[in-house]
Chain A
Amino acid sequence: MTQIRDTKTQIDSDIGIIATDVHKWYGNHFHVLRGVSLTVKRGEVVVIMGPSGSGKSTFIRTFNALEEFQKGSIIVDGINLSHDIKNIEAIRREVGMVFQQFNLFPHLSVLENVTLAPIWVRRWPKAKAEEIAMQLLERVGILEQAQKFPGQLSGGQQQRVAIARALAMQPKIMLFDEPTSALDPEMVREVLDVMRNLADSGMTMVVVTHEVGFAREVADRIVLMADGILVEEATPEEFFQNAKEERTRKFLSQIL
Chain B
Amino acid sequence: MKTLENQQLSQPKITRITPKEWLQQNLFSTWYNSLLTIVLLAGISWGIYGFFKWAIAVAEWEVIKVNLPLFMVGRYPKDQYWRIWLIVGIISSFAGLSWGVIGRKAATLFTIPVLIVLGIISAISLLIPGAVPFKLLLILMVGLVVGNGWIGKQLGNKITTLGRWLSFGWFIAFLLILWLMLGGLGIKSVSTNDWGGLMLTIFMAVVSIFLSFPLGVLLALGRQSTLPVIKIFSIAYIEIFRGLPLISILFMGQIMIPLFLPEGMRPDRVLRAILGLTLFSSAYLAENVRGGLQSVPRGQIEAAKALGLNTPLVLALIVLPQALKVAIPSIVGQFISLFQDTTLLAIVGLVELLGMSRSILAQPQFLGDYAEVYLFNGILFWIICYAMSLGSRQLEKKLNTGH
Which A positions have Cβ atoms within 8 angstroms of B?
64, 66, 89, 92-93, 95-97, 99, 101, 103-107, 116-117, 120-121, 149-152, 162, 165-166, 169
Identify which of B302, B308, B321 contacts A66 (C-beta below 8 A). B302
* B313 interface hit (Cβ, 8 Å): yes
B302 surroundings in chain A (CB, below 8 A) = 66, 99, 103
A97 to B303, CA, bound (A): 8
Kindly list 8 other residue pairs between chains A and B, CB separation below 8 angstroms, not including A165-B307, A169-B308: A101-B299, A103-B300, A103-B303, A105-B300, A106-B322, A120-B317, A149-B401, A151-B403
Measured CB to CB, the nearest residue on chain A to B300 is A103
- 9 pairs, CB–CB < 8 Å, chain A vs chain B: A66-B306, A99-B302, A104-B303, A106-B401, A107-B322, A107-B325, A117-B308, A120-B313, A150-B401
Known: A99-B299, A103-B300. A89 touches B307 (CB 8 A): no
Q: Kindly state whether residue B19 has any CB partner on chain A within 8 Å.
A: no
Closest chain A CB from B46 CB (angstroms) = 51
B207 contacts chain A at the CB level, 8 A cutoff: no
Q: Does B305 interact with chain A (Cβ within 8 Å)?
A: yes
Docked-complex contact B403 and A150, CB < 8 angstroms: yes
A92 near B300: Cβ-Cβ < 8 Å: no
Complex contacts, B401 vs chain A, CB 8 Å: 106-107, 149-151
Q: Are A64 and B306 in contact (CB under 8 A)?
A: yes
Is residue B402 contacting chain A, with contact meaning CB distance below 8 A?
Answer: yes
Asked whether A99 and B321 contact (CB < 8 A) given A106-B401, A117-B309, the answer is no
A151: which B residues are within 8 A, CB to CB? 401-403
Task: Point out the residues of chain B lying under 8 angstroms from A149, CB to CB.
Answer: 401-403
Chain A contacts for B307, CB-based, 8 A = 92, 96, 116-117, 121, 165-166, 169
Closest to A151 in B: B403
Question: Is B38's CB within 8 Å of the partner chain A?
Answer: no
- B residues within 8 A CB of A89? 308, 310
Q: Identify the 9 closest CB pairs spanning chains A and B, nearest first.
A: A151-B403, A103-B303, A117-B307, A151-B402, A93-B308, A149-B401, A106-B403, A103-B299, A97-B306
- A93 to B309 Cα, complex, angstroms: 8
Q: Are B402 and A92 in contact (CB under 8 A)?
A: no
Are the CB atoms of B305 and A105 closer together than 8 Å? Answer: no
Q: A87 to nearest B CB, angstroms?
A: 12
Residue B172 lies at the interface, judged by CB distance under 8 Å to chain A: no
B247 contacts A by Cβ under 8 Å:
no
Q: Contacts A99-B303, A105-B303 given: A121-B403 contact, CB under 8 Å?
A: no
Which residues 387-403 in B have Cβ within 8 Å of A in the complex? 399, 401-403
Bound-state CA distance A165–B309 (Å) is 13
Residue B318 lies at the interface, judged by CB distance under 8 Å to chain A: yes
- Most chain B beta carbons < 10 A, residue from A107, A121, A150: A107
Q: How far is the CA of A95 from the CA of B306 in the complex (A)?
A: 8
A95 to B303, CA, bound (A): 12
* Chain B residues within 8 Å of A121, by CB: 307-309, 313
Residues of A within 8 A of B317 (CB): 116, 120
Contacts of B299 in A (CB 8 A): 99, 101, 103
Task: List chain A residues, Cβ under 8 A from B310.
Answer: 89
B402 touches A152 (CB 8 A): yes
Q: Which residues of B contact A97 (CB under 8 A)?
A: 303, 306
B324 closest partner in A (C-beta): A107
Q: Give the residue name and chain of the B residue nearest to A95 (CB).
A: B306
Interface positions of B from 291 to 319, Cβ below 8 Å from A: 297, 299-300, 302-310, 313, 317-318
Least CB separation from A122: chain B residue: B308
Residue of B with least CB distance to A119: B317
Interfacial chain A residues near B402, Cβ < 8 Å: 149, 151-152
Cα distance A116–B402 when bound, in Å?
20
Chain A's closest residue to B303 (CB) is A103
Please, which residue of chain A has its CB at the minimum distance from the CB of B301?
A103
Q: How far is the CA of A165 from the CA of B304 in the complex (A)?
A: 11
| Proximity bits, B328-345, A CB within 8 Å = 1, else 0 | 000000000000000000
Of B297, B302, B307, B403, most buried by chain A (CB within 10 Å of CB) is B307
Q: Which residues of B contact A150 (CB under 8 A)?
A: 401, 403
Q: What residues of B have a CB within 8 angstroms of the CB of A66 in the complex?
A: 302, 305-306
Output the nearest chain B residue to A97 by Cβ-Cβ distance.
Answer: B306
Q: How far is the CB of B355 from chain A (nearest CB, A)?
A: 43
CA distance A113 to B313 in the complex (A): 14
Chain B proximity of A131: nearest CB distance (Å): 18
Nearest opposing residue in chain A for B325, CB measure: A107
A183 vs chain B, min Cβ distance (A): 16
- Residue of A66, A97, A120, A165 with most chain B CB atoms under a 10 A cut-off: A120
Residue of B nearest to A120 (CB): B313
Contacts of B304 in A (CB 8 A): 105
Q: How far is the CB of B363 from chain A (nearest CB, A)?
A: 54
Taking CB atoms, residues of chain B closer than 8 Å to A103 are 297, 299-300, 302-303
| B303–A120 CB distance below 8 A | no
Residues of B within 8 A of A162 (CB): 303
